[in-house]
Structure 1
């Protein structure tokens, strides 16, 4: 992936080394992520939102009041390669989605991305490394512990900078869903849904975020020629590795389709490809698709 020398975002907050405080991950505001590692990475099983959040919603609890937590002061911007990469990818998503929204006559509100280590306060409760990368609608921030990228390589044998960019772009996709009002509509429907129906809605949310990641990649490459040979394959490998069926097979040896919250490996690959090939937001309407 060609990214060095491109613009870096100012919307990155580095909290590494700060004491985030707090206990477990709260349910206020609900977090949305590319995957959650249950039982503190022991089972290596991703849920995408905090398990207690899912349980609360599926039990008809609805959204809990958002908690207000004071974030630690950010550290000065570091200049290591990994941090510069994150800032550059975020900037690229900002440029891409700002242009897409502008063409639609709308204004793109840029999200902030928080780099943390261990745990950190969020509007969705206390974010922890075990949660994996996630987006919190309550404060419109993306949270990521960069150790996740090492976990991708060590646990799932997925490497490459574009695979990492796909992770960030997926979380930005959830921010786009929030700005478009999709998440509010889904949350309202989910509160009245059965467990099976709620899981099916979550799958459509996540597959759309995958598609939006593909839309970003297509438009960014068209504007700035960021893709190199083999980049798309690394993103597809990442999408394959974190499919619900692949993760459940790895964690427990069998799959339970009704419990899927992100979609199968094939579905995740299919919807990322759809966004990548079309570059169009309207190609990502997973909610009206008869077949995923």
Structure 2
């Protein structure tokens, strides 16, 4: 990626020294309360894996991220990654700000919170094992840089653009929030399951993938940020976090009825659609009968 000359965003909160992973706030909700919380998460765009992690004490179906001790050069590497993330975030701000202006709307920049181990958000307390997530209640993206080690290692998605795709996907959720899609999603009364390979949660997540593709196209059209191999890295990252691949790795078999984010093929396809079109109208995952 060509980001050397790009500005860094000022909308980053670095909480890595706050010791958030040293303890956790227990959340005890049982029976009907658990069901209501999970459905509420789906309605308001909170990653259901986050809620399940809160309910069962930290165990989630999301990719687990190993917690490692301090290593030589780790701090320097993380600072380098922070600068990279801040440039990607700035690029999303510029891209979506311009696009919203063209639509006659105003884009409000989100904030991105870096944390280590665990973090408090307006959506609850989350540990690193949940993975990156967006909280619509406080308009913040939360990211532990340890996730990138997992992405490069166990998940096999390497390269700068793979990391950029992760950030752009979470920003895609903020765009959904800004456009009022999350509010409309919460009010949907169509007989559509919450989960499953055509469920509401999957449609929301695939649209965020499509929005990530829109950012990549429009940022490249305006500033030429993409280099040879970047698109392939993005496709590989999208495939690496497909529900089918993660389930296959974790338990040896796939349960499509439990999907919350979409299969590898679906995630690649909707990212590709955004990248090819650069048009939010081509990302309407809720209007197609089958994904």
State whether TM-score is above 0.5: yes
> What secondary structure does 1:32 align onto?
coil
Judge conservation of contact 1:132–1:144 (CA < 8 Å) in 2.
Answer: yes
User: Structure 1 length as normaliser, TM-score?
Assistant: 0.81
Alignment of 1:123-162 (within 5 A): 123-162=122-161
2:236 aligned with 1:240, yes or no? no
Aligned residue pair count: 261
- Residue in structure 2 matched with residue 50 of structure 1 by the alignment: none
What is the 5 A alignment of 1:276-287? 276-287=275-286
1:88 aligns with 87
Q: Indicate yes or no: 2:62 matched with 1:46.
A: yes
How far off its partner does 1:192 sit?
A: 8.5
How far is the alpha carbon of 1:154 from its aligned partner?
1.3
User: Once superposed, which parts of structure 1, at least 4 consecutive aligned residues long, lie more than 4 Å away?
Assistant: 24-29, 33-43, 190-199
Structure 2 vs 1, CA of residues 80 and 286 (structure 1 numbering), >3 Å: closer, same or farther? Answer: same
Q: How does 1:183-262 map to 2 (within 5 A)?
A: 183-189=182-188, 196=195, 200-262=199-261
The whole-number CA distance in structure 2 between the counterparts of 1:138 and 1:151 is: 27
| CA–CA separation in structure 1 for the residues paired with 2:83 and 2:19 | 23
Q: How high is the TM-score relative to the length of structure 2?
A: 0.82
Q: CA deviation at 1:255?
A: 1.1
Aligned residue in 2 for 1:74: none
Cα distance in 2 for residues equivalent to 1:5 and 1:103: 25
CA shift for structure 1 position 121: 1.3
| 1:156 alignment partner, SS class | coil
Other structure's SS at 1:81 match? helix
Question: Alignment RMSD, CA only?
Answer: 2.8
Instruction: Mark the runs of 5 or more structure 1 residues left unpaired by the alignment.
Output: 48-77
Q: Helix, strand or coil for the counterpart of 2:125?
A: strand
SS at match of 1:127: strand
Unmatched segments (≥5 aa) in structure 2: 29-36, 64-76
Match of 1:13 in 2: 13
Question: Compared with structure 1, are the counterparts of its residues 286 and 193 closer, same or farther at alpha carbon in structure 2 (3 Å cutoff)?
Answer: closer
